[in-house]
Structure 1
Amino acid sequence: MQQLSTNKIHRVLITGVAQNLEFIFNEKQKADKVLERCFKANKQWGKRDRAFIANATYEIVRWYRKHCNSLELDYTTTRTTKECYALIDLYLIYRNELDYLKIFTKDEYKKLQKRNVEAEKNIALQQSYPDWIAQSGIAERELIALNKPATLVVRVNTLKTNNKQVENILSAENIKFEKVVNSHFTALNNAYVLPTRPNIFGSEMFKNGLIEVQDAGSQMIAQYLDVSEGMRVIDACAGAGGKTLYIAALMHNKGKIISMDTEAHKLEELQKRAKRNSVTIVETRIIDSSKAIKRLHNTADRLLLDVPCSGLGVLRRNPDAKWKLTPEFITEIRAVQQHILSNYTAMLKVGGVAVYATCSLLPQENEMQVQEFLLNNINYELVRENYILPTMGFDGFYMAAIQRVKE
């Protein structure tokens, strides 16, 4: 195999991708954070350059094991700079942006193609997953769907605007949009797909709180709570508050939402977002001890438990997680989920409903957790449960509505 030929791709962009890959594969840094830092350090890059860097980085990470197999590399070890360039070569060849004869001899490329044919017999190699994920019970069609690029979905903030106004602004800015029309998402009246993936965070619409970036499945979880005006709602694993903001809109800013998390910086971000969205009914509380939960026992009409999880349902937007997750982590996170489900549900009033949710597709994080909880807690009943699957066109989620029926 010869040295990289960048063909028409500017050398500095290739170097940028190679550096990103080293940070991701060798230092286990998150791909989105690596790209964010890369772009901040290279503000001179234009829109097309940034798109090339992002697409190349994500696609190589997404198909990492398959590419490593083609190049006879062990995907479980760290990568040299030379190997990172070889991965970029292969990416460019598969995109017809680089002539394979500039990198490989004909015999080398024939052997590579033969390895690719053999890989088609193994779903883990074919779809580029660690063996344990490929053998986890997730349906093959979902593994395939998780390898597609993530969809950009925005939600219209009905506290400040309406669909028509947002459609007019999008049209005026020549941004293509599609209403979310899907038999599984019929209730999402304010959700739009932006197929060209514009930099929406830099838009005046976003800065003024007219829209929020939120996947369709995530919006469905907020709707699953079935809230109404005047309710007292607790979002107990709120993070930066994406679902809190939508819940407030569904309640027409009437009632009370207590948003909780163990990390103060996330709640600070939630407060900033709430202000931008004109959400006025949210109070944030840090979970710094069990007392924070006990103070709220028997107070909630609705309780959202969007628990920490493996994130296997959102691999389309976080493909690097494939190479960081382990079976041991699943065991550890299940214990965290069990603790939250067992202890936080006491915040519900009798008659109140909790929604337990994950962005995982593993039964052991989802329905098995709910079944075990109900077996050990006879004062609660399952109302309904649902999966949002990647084959539906968006991220993967699980949600279960659980009602407290007795004291």
Structure 2
Amino acid sequence: MTQLDHDIGRAIADVTRNGRHLSTVIDELFTAYRPDADTAADIRSRIVEAVRTMPEWLRQRIRAAYGDKATRILEALRSEAPVFIRVNTLKTTDRDALRALRDAGAEPTELEHCLVVARPFGLYRRQSFRDGWFEQQDISSQRVALSMDLAPGMRVVDACAGNGGKTLHMAALMGNRGRIIALDPYAEKLSTLRSRAARAGVSIVEPRAITSTKTVKRLAETADRVLVDVPCSGTGVLRRNPDIPWHLTDASIGELVSLQRDILRRSANCAKPGGLVVYASCSILPEEGPDQIRTFLDQSPFTLESEWASMPDNAPHSGDGFYCAVLRRNP
């Protein structure tokens, strides 16, 4: 065994036993060894493949939820995710975006609402990206904003805006007309959102830090649409972030479910009577999806209008695992 082999094993243990982040341990190895491109690819592949072997407690949860389908789901979660691109229609057209991607050698394929490009592709190094023409966003994630029945001039509350991926998509669907209140407790995420909005040519977003429960209470019954994209286990996006399960425990899933329930309850009150609340979770666990919504509907004056779920599989254009429910507040 070489020293590199030993250090790769230690890096794997740092993720699976000590909870360190995958990107961090890989960067440390690259810094220490300064490998050529082929060696770097081999190092990354060996570590990622080992980390994809998720903890047994999570495997058991998935088997309990999906029975005979679990084996196929677990296999799909170990695969590479496609690269999906959302065209920013505030800055360009689909035709010009396709031409720019082809000129860059990206080999784009047109799907119903987005593009998928072949790997590898340095999107973030392209001038067209810096000019705000594109966002890298999974096809299932894009489907969330498309489920909101948005129109120009609406007032929208994004209750868990984060870095703003869905916020910017909503702004584009609204033609940059109306207002989006983007809430998040983390100032650094809202700072990133501001930068991304400027690049995307979005001016209708108002980032607002959640400093207390009053931040949300002041928005009671003011919004035509409310997006509640809750913090979750991330089990639907393991293809992109295979180290996620190593930062979770079986007990922490219950803690997340309680947090989601509280966020949904508080945020849903921002909707006007007759307005829509869209709940989204990038989890494949039922307790973070349909079970959460059934509990909410039993206790709240809302009606379920529609719901959908996506599951990663080995199809060429398979999106991430998501659950989404569209709820209407009773008049």
When normalised by structure 2's length, the TM-score is 0.91
Corresponding position: 1:343 with 2:254: no
Shift of 1:157: 0.9
Shift of 1:16: 6.3
Shift of 1:56: 2.4
Q: Describe the SS at the equivalent of 1:233.
A: strand
1:32 corresponds to which letter in structure 2?
S
Q: Which residue of 2 aligns with 1:316?
A: 239
Which string of whole-angstrom CA distances, capped at 9 and with x for unpartnered residues, describes residues 150-179 of structure 1? 211111111111122122122222222222
Q: Which residue of 2 aligns with 1:205?
A: 128
Shift of 1:346: 0.7
Residues 35, 212 of structure 1: alpha-carbon distance in 2 compared, 3 angstrom cutoff: farther
Shift of 1:362: 1.3
Q: Describe the SS at the equivalent of 1:144.
A: helix
- Identity among equivalent positions (%) equals 37
Q: Describe the SS at the equivalent of 1:390.
A: coil
Q: Which residue of 2 aligns with 1:53?
A: 43
Match among 268, 271, 281 for residue 191 of structure 2: 268
Corresponding position: 1:28 with 2:45: no
Which string of whole-angstrom CA distances, capped at 9 and with x for unpartnered residues, describes residues 28-68 of structure 1? 112134335555x3695554444333322211211377xxx
1:162 corresponds to which letter in structure 2?
T
Greater shift, 196-205 or 252-261, is seen at: 196-205
> 1:168, 1:298 → 2: CA distance?
44
Residues 307, 50 of structure 1: alpha-carbon distance in 2 compared, 3 angstrom cutoff: same
- Does the 8 Å contact 1:312/1:361 carry over to 2? yes
> 2:7, 2:172 → 1: CA distance?
41
- Does the 8 Å contact 1:30/1:320 carry over to 2? yes
Decide which structure has the larger Cα Rg and report it. Answer: 1
Residues 99-248 of structure 1: pairs in structure 2 closer than 5 A: 130-138=58-66, 139-140=69-70, 141-180=72-111, 186=112, 188=113, 191-248=114-171
Q: Which residue of 2 aligns with 1:62?
A: 52
- Does the 8 Å contact 2:58/2:250 carry over to 1? no
Residues 195, 385 of structure 1: alpha-carbon distance in 2 compared, 3 angstrom cutoff: same
Residues 146, 321 of structure 1: alpha-carbon distance in 2 compared, 3 angstrom cutoff: same
Residues 256-405 of structure 1: pairs in structure 2 closer than 5 A: 256-377=179-300, 379-391=301-313, 393-405=318-330
- Does the 8 Å contact 2:54/2:245 carry over to 1? no
- Does the 8 Å contact 2:183/2:210 carry over to 1? yes
Q: Which residue of 2 aligns with 1:69?
A: none
Q: Describe the SS at the equivalent of 2:64.
A: coil
1:153 corresponds to which letter in structure 2?
F
1:177 corresponds to which letter in structure 2?
P
2:328 corresponds to which letter in structure 1?
Q
Shift of 1:229: 0.4
Q: Describe the SS at the equivalent of 1:403.
A: strand
Residues 22, 346 of structure 1: alpha-carbon distance in 2 compared, 3 angstrom cutoff: same
Unaligned residue ranges in structure 1 (runs of 5+): 5-10, 66-123, 181-185
- Does the 8 Å contact 2:160/2:229 carry over to 1? yes
- Does the 8 Å contact 2:83/2:116 carry over to 1? yes
CA RMSD of aligned residues (A): 2.1
> 1:158, 1:133 → 2: CA distance?
40
Q: How many residues align?
A: 325
When normalised by structure 1's length, the TM-score is 0.75
Higher relative contact order (CA 8 A, sep 6+): 2
> 2:96, 2:39 → 1: CA distance?
32
Residues 315, 372 of structure 1: alpha-carbon distance in 2 compared, 3 angstrom cutoff: same
